[in-house]
Chains A and B, each alone.
Chain A
Amino acid sequence: GENVEQHPSTLSVQEGDSAVIKCTYSDSASNYFPWYKQELGKGPQLIIDIRSNVGEKKDQRIAVTLNKTAKHFSLHITETQPEDSAVYFCAASITGNQFYFGTGTSLTVIP
């Protein structure tokens, strides 16, 4: 099956700085890559996604890039704010039905 690796496991940044989280996947058939944000005691919530026919996607302060050849994708958060503090998970899917998640990155934004 698909194997998704994510790093770093923890990340601390100063408010206003950028944060980057990276993921790699193993199955070249994967074609859908969502990113989820999980706050304490809550379920994960989708923040951005990208499909394999696109190299980059932006939504305000959040962007995701995808390199299909290298089988890696990254989440970029600019102008970080304290409310961005949470655990972020990347995921990969082949069918759009079964999703394989990374192990998560705990992001702390220091005011």
Chain B
Amino acid sequence: GAGVSQTPSNKVTEKGKYVELRCDPISGHTALYWYRQSLGQGPEFLIYFQGTGAADDSGLPNDRFFAVRPEGSVSTLKIQRTERGDSAVYLCASSRGTANTGELFFGEGSRLTVL
């Protein structure tokens, strides 16, 4: 498709389990972002990739969260030992990648519920 694709759209898991969320950015976009959006809040920055490398991971809340983008395209956000507080919509966005070019193109998000 032409837009940012995220899978799964919904994920329900139990506390303590491991979760992977996948993002397929727009073709040719070198920059990829992960955000977390809790109910009634704005998107909260987690991590930003330029190509294959994490250019800024300062938003990851703790070491249970990790993200990879091994070939500079698809990215996976990995959450270990999930906690109820991890429940949120995880948004992925991509952009052309040049600083200050502006527009982020968001996917529809992966809604994670930790029981």
A residues neighboring B (CB under 8 Å) = 4, 6, 31-32, 34, 36, 41-46, 49, 51, 89, 91, 93, 95-104
Q: B7-26 CB contact bits vs A (8 Å, 1 = yes)?
A: 00000000000000000000
Neighbouring B residues of A96 by C-beta, 8 Å: 98-102
Cβ contact within 8 Å between B42 and A104: yes
B104 at interface (Cβ–Cβ under 8 A)? yes
Instruction: Tell me whether B102 and A34 are in contact (CB under 8 A).
Output: yes
Does B66 sit at the interface, judged by CB under 8 A?
no
User: Main secondary structure on chain A at its contact with chain B?
Assistant: strand
User: What A residues does B98 contact at CB under 8 A?
Assistant: 96
Q: Is the CB of B100 within 8 A of A43?
A: no
B60-94 to A contact mask, C-beta < 8 Å, 1/0: 00000000000000000000000000000001010
Rounded to whole Å, the gap between the CB of A36 and the closest CB of chain B is: 8
Of B42, B91, B106, which is within 8 A of A103 by CB? B42
Minimum distance in angstroms from A44 CB to a CB of chain B: 5
Beyond the given A46-B103, A51-B100, A98-B45, please list 10 additional residue pairs across the A-B interface where CB-CB is below 8 A. Answer: A4-B42, A32-B100, A36-B106, A45-B106, A89-B43, A95-B99, A96-B98, A97-B99, A99-B33, A101-B43
